[in-house]
Amino acid sequence: MVTDHSHLHGWTPVAFLADPEPRIVWADLRGQRFDQPFFDHIASKRHVDAGHLATEVTDLSALHALDATPSLDPTLIVAQSARCGSTLLVRLLATMDGVVTVSEPEILSKLFLHGLRNPESAATHDVLREIVRGFGRLRFGDEKIYVLKLSSSMTRFLPQFRRAFPHSPMVWLQRSPIEIVESEMRSPGAWIGFDPQGGGDLAALVLKKTTVTFLAARAHVTDDMLVLDHRDLPDSVWTTLAPWLGLSLSRTDISRMEQCASYDSKSGEPFVRRQRLAMPNAVHDIVRQILNPIHDELGRRRDKRKPLQESGAIG
């Protein structure tokens, strides 16, 4: 018996359930622009604004059935090292008309965690593609550009994203490793998995997670990807990224980006000067021996980039 999923047209896949069998949670976000710094805040905002959030759980066949709905493939996939200004980069792009931005959707992390248990599964590839396109539905009709920002932990899975979207350009955004480590130690992100009550070593945990990210970047940031650095933001968005993508920006577009950049990208408040943490020598040693060489090697590609059109990556 074929299930009719047509009533879910315009709904968005928001969560992946692995047990007892793989299922998708859909949320009715129709009429809701994707304009929050992080995708998972969108459903929360809708829930607060509307007083409820309509959801439905289906098996994976609904993804495939609804994939024929007009949708965008990502115009740009942003991969990043964490604490590197990726939220700012995406907010600047979002100031342009017709831009949909989806940042670090947790559903993808859950998909890959499940997928690791079934690494040979071709279904993971199809499900990945259909979930990502699910975010890119033409829900308002004015969407032209779709920017997907991955969490730093997704760097390990860039090959899977590349296979799912071979024509979607990718950019790697990074930052000086000691600055990443200092930022994470000052305010650890949830992805670090640090339990303040657990008595663990935060520095060791941050170093290990950051090492995994940079090892993954060394393996998977390929020559056809644009490499940008935190220290070049925000200007590199309009001087480098937009031209590389073939986007023609007006003076008004750039002014809007400059205005947006004058605020802290997460809170919307003006930039606040923060006190830097002093790092132990042992942390500096590991950063110098392991992380800096990878960061520097990737950084050398910043000067070797070709415009996408010249590289043949887009038509």
Closest CA to 34 of 130, 104, 100: 100
Joined together, the tokens standing for residue 262 give 């004058």
Apex 131 CA angle, 43 and 135, nearest 5: 50
Out of 5, 91, 220, 230, which residue is the one contacting another protein (CB under 8 A)?
A: 220
3-state helix, strand, coil in the chain (%, to 5): 50, 15, 40
Residue span binding another protein (CB under 8 A) among the ranges 68-76, 102-110, 218-226, 271-279: 218-226
Nearer to another protein, 18 or 65 (CB): 18
Residue span binding another protein (CB under 8 A) among the ranges 21-29, 198-206, 244-252, 301-309: 198-206
Q: State how far the Cα of 305 lies from the Cα of 191, in Å rounded to an integer.
A: 31
Joined together, the tokens standing for residue 71 give 């949708």
Closest CB 118 distance from another protein, rounded Å: 11
Q: Fill in the per-residue mask, 251 to 290: x = in contact with another protein (CB under 8 A), - = not in contact.
A: -------------------------------x---x---x
Helix (H) or strand (E) holding 81, with range, is none
Closest CB 188 distance from another protein, rounded Å: 16
Q: Fill in the per-residue mask, 105 to 144: x = in contact with another protein (CB under 8 A), - = not in contact.
A: -------x---x--x-------------------------
Provide the terminal-to-terminal Cα distance of the chain, rounded to the nearest Å.
Answer: 42
Closest CB 208 distance from another protein, rounded Å: 5
| In contact, 3 and 61? CB cutoff 8 Å | yes
Nearer to another protein, 35 or 201 (CB): 201
Sheet order of strands, 55-59 included: 12-17, 23-27, 55-59
Cβ neighbours for 133, distance < 8 A, ≥ 6 positions apart = 67, 71, 72, 73
Q: State how far the Cα of 12 lies from the Cα of 25, in Å rounded to an integer.
A: 8
Q: Fill in the per-residue mask, 148 to 187: x = in contact with another protein (CB under 8 A), - = not in contact.
A: --------xx-xx---------------------------
Q: Per rule CB under 8 A, is residue 202 in the interface with another protein? A: no
Closest CB 286 distance from another protein, rounded Å: 6
**Cα 85–chain centre separation:** 12
Please give the residue ranges that form the binding site for another protein (CB under 8 A): 112, 116, 119, 156-157, 159-160, 201, 203-204, 207-208, 211-212, 215-216, 218-220, 282, 286, 290
